Homo-oligomer: A and B are copies of this chain.
């Protein structure tokens, strides 16, 4: 039986590398805190799991050396070096995959996130490098988020969103929040994409009306809040 490199394919529990769930916890902590400690309840909300699950995951992640073990009862979650490196690697893989899926395989913008979300857990670092090379080491993904190539610290605080500016402003779209497929689809079909210049015509509690090139589009506030901008 030609089964030398058996690599028992069914071993879920006894896998050495961090599992899907663990990687998601690490990524969530990183994305919520950007390096700073994060409250467990925030992680729970972000991942749609109970606080209890986060509490249990905490112990496991500490055991893996991904979380700084700090027996303090105050206990915000803080990533270790190893944890931060893993988080950055996950972000890199995710954004490279999104770029690849969109640019090379024509996957619609509002669907690349979900697809990348699953694939990012199973590709090797070698494959990620090959994808980066294939794409010419792109500097940002199709939603406008930068792709980290070293383990550089994240940039400054978050940018303001389109929901936060007053009428009359002229702004440039920097990025869309890829976690909300529905908003991404609506924004993309309205032409609100990274790099676009917008003029805010009106902004009330329900809607934000912007001019985007020649078009005038009306966005609901939830969608507008998914758009990060610069002036």
Q: Which residues in A have some Cβ–Cβ distance to B below 8 Å?
A: 1-10, 12, 20-21, 24-25, 45-49, 53, 101, 104-107, 111, 114-115, 117-119, 121-124, 126-127, 130-131, 134, 177, 179-183, 222, 225-226
Do A127 and B115 have beta carbons less than 8 Å apart? yes
Give, as a whole number of angstroms, the nearest-CB distance from A129 to chain B: 10
Q: Are A2 and B179 in contact (CB under 8 A)?
A: yes
Other-chain residue from B5, B53, B104, B182 in contact with A4 (beta carbon distance below 8 A): B182
A104, B46: Cβ atoms closer than 8 Å = no
Which 9 A-B residue pairings sit nearest by Cβ, starting from the closest? A118-B122, A8-B48, A105-B130, A2-B180, A2-B177, A6-B48, A5-B181, A10-B21, A4-B180
Whether B131 lies near A47 (C-beta < 8 A) is no
15 contacts across the A-B interface (CB closer than 8 A): A2-B179, A2-B225, A4-B180, A5-B182, A9-B47, A9-B48, A10-B25, A105-B127, A105-B134, A115-B123, A118-B122, A118-B123, A119-B119, A121-B122, A122-B122
Q: Is A114 a contact partner of B1 (Cβ separation < 8 A)?
A: no
Chain B residues, Cβ within 8 Å of A118: 122-123
Choose among A2, A48, A122 the residue with the greatest number of B CB atoms under 10 Å from its CB. A2
Return the chain B residue nearest A5 by Cβ: B181
Alpha-carbon distance between A12 and B131 when the two chains are bound, in angstroms: 28
Which residue of the partner chain, among B10, B121, B131, contacts A49 with CB atoms under 8 Å?
B10
Contact A127 B101, beta carbon cutoff 8 Å: yes
Option from B3, B4, B5, B111 in Cβ contact (under 8 Å) with A46: B3
In the assembled complex, the CB of A5 is this many whole angstroms from the nearest CB of chain B, namely: 5
Complex interface: chain B residues within 8 A of A20 (CB): 10, 12
Query: Across the interface, which residues of B come within 8 angstroms of A53, CB to CB?
Result: 10
Give Cα A55–Cα B177 distance, bound, in whole angstroms: 45
| Bound: A225/B3 CA distance, A | 12
List the B side residues contacting A121 at CB < 8 Å.
Answer: 122
Across the interface, name the chain B residue whose C-beta is closest to A120: B122
Q: Report the Cα distance A180→B47, complex, angstroms.
A: 39
